[in-house]
Amino acid sequence: MELWPAIDIRGGKCVRLLQGDYERETVFGEDPVALVQQFISEGAEQIHIVDLDGAKEGRPVQLKTIERMVDSCAVPIQLGGGIRSLDTVRAYVDAGIQRLVVGSVAVEQPQLFESLVDSFPNKIVLGLDARNGRVATRGWVETSHLTSVALAQKYAHAPLAAIVYTDIAKDGMMDGPNLISLREVIMAVDLPVVASGGIAREADIKAVVECGAAGCIVGRALYEGAFTIAQARKAAGEL
């Protein structure tokens, strides 16, 4: 299982939000490029980046910062936040991003989402951000009527790179992932599913492995020293 250390960017800084709430922000670093290099020096073999400003605005906001982050490393980058057009996908792919997480478009503009996936096979990741079982959009500000499982099944046969499943209630709370809902998504589709939200200890990573997830995204636990990247990779079976 792949471990994806997370770097969320807002206002050019590395931050974490509690349950996706922009009013409950903690700044963990002033320099995203330095944090990428730190994670890689500690053993990270892939990085997950979120443009929080872009997610809220619906367009790339931190493109220049992200380009500097990509240029500073040679590991695969997975990026989400504000990816809602073919031009945006093309710009990020040209910048060297390996995988792009798209959520809002999959709910609000299904034809566009299918076009993105067909134009960039195995590059697009379906972002399932769930609040009380329903998929949230636009930087988690709005909640749709669709369930996570229903949306996953809608695109189950598309040439997606993966699905990222995030339980918003668990995100940043350090009280463990929602394993029941994660397992439901994994069982519903024959696609790799990456777990996100609530992972606070090595035992949580092992539990996610046992659920059958293809990877997990870890943020606050790394920043607060709950475990090292090496320990997390060992728990995930990477080492």
Integer Cα distance of 232 and 222 in angstroms: 9
Q: Tell me 46's DSSP state.
A: -
Residue 75: per-residue pLDDT: 96
| Between 104 and 153, the higher pLDDT residue | 153
**212-221 pLDDT per residue, tens:** 999 999 999 9
In this predicted model, what pLDDT tens digit does every residue of 7-34 receive, in sequence order? 999 999 999 888 777 888 899 999 999 9
- Catalytic residue set: 8, 129
Does 172 have pLDDT greater than 70?
A: no
Residue 141 pLDDT greater than 80, yes or no: no
Q: Is residue 86 classed as helix, strand or coil in its secondary structure?
A: helix
Q: What is the DSSP letter of 135?
A: E
Q: Which residue has the tokens 């699905």?
A: 163
Express each pLDDT in 30-52 by its tens digit: 999 999 999 999 999 999 999 99
Supply the pLDDT for residue 178: 92
Angle at 141 between CA 197 and CA 173, to 5 degrees: 25
Please state, in angstroms and rounded to a whole number, the distance separating the CA atoms of residues 36 and 42: 10
- pLDDT per residue as tens digits for the range 180-209: 999 999 999 999 999 999 999 999 999 999
Do residues 231 and 3 make contact, with C-beta atoms less than 8 angstroms apart?
no
- The confidence score (pLDDT) of residue 89 equals 97
Own/partner long-range contacts of 176-181 (Cβ < 8 Å, ≥24 apart): 176/200, 176/201, 176/204, 176/207, 177/204, 177/207, 177/208, 179/207, 179/208, 179/211, 181/130, 181/133, 181/148
* pLDDT tens, position by position, 79-134: 999 999 999 999 999 999 999 999 989 999 999 999 999 999 999 999 998 887 78
**Among 14, 13, 2, residue whose Cα is nearest residue 43:** 2
pLDDT of 53 higher than 80: yes
Res 174: pLDDT: 76
- Residue 137 is predicted with a pLDDT of 77
For residue 55, pLDDT beyond 70 = yes
∠ CA 95-91-139, rounded to 5°: 105
Grade residue 143 by pLDDT with cuts at 50, 70 and 90.
confident
Please tell me the predicted confidence (pLDDT) of residue 173. Answer: 65
Tell me what pLDDT residue 13 has.
Answer: 95
pTM: 0.93
Mean pLDDT of 139-160: 87
What is the C-alpha separation between 115 and 86, in angstroms, rounded? 8
User: Tokens 């792919």 identify what position?
Assistant: 93
Among the listed residues 198, 187, 190, 238, the one whose alpha carbon sits nearest the alpha carbon of residue 220? 198
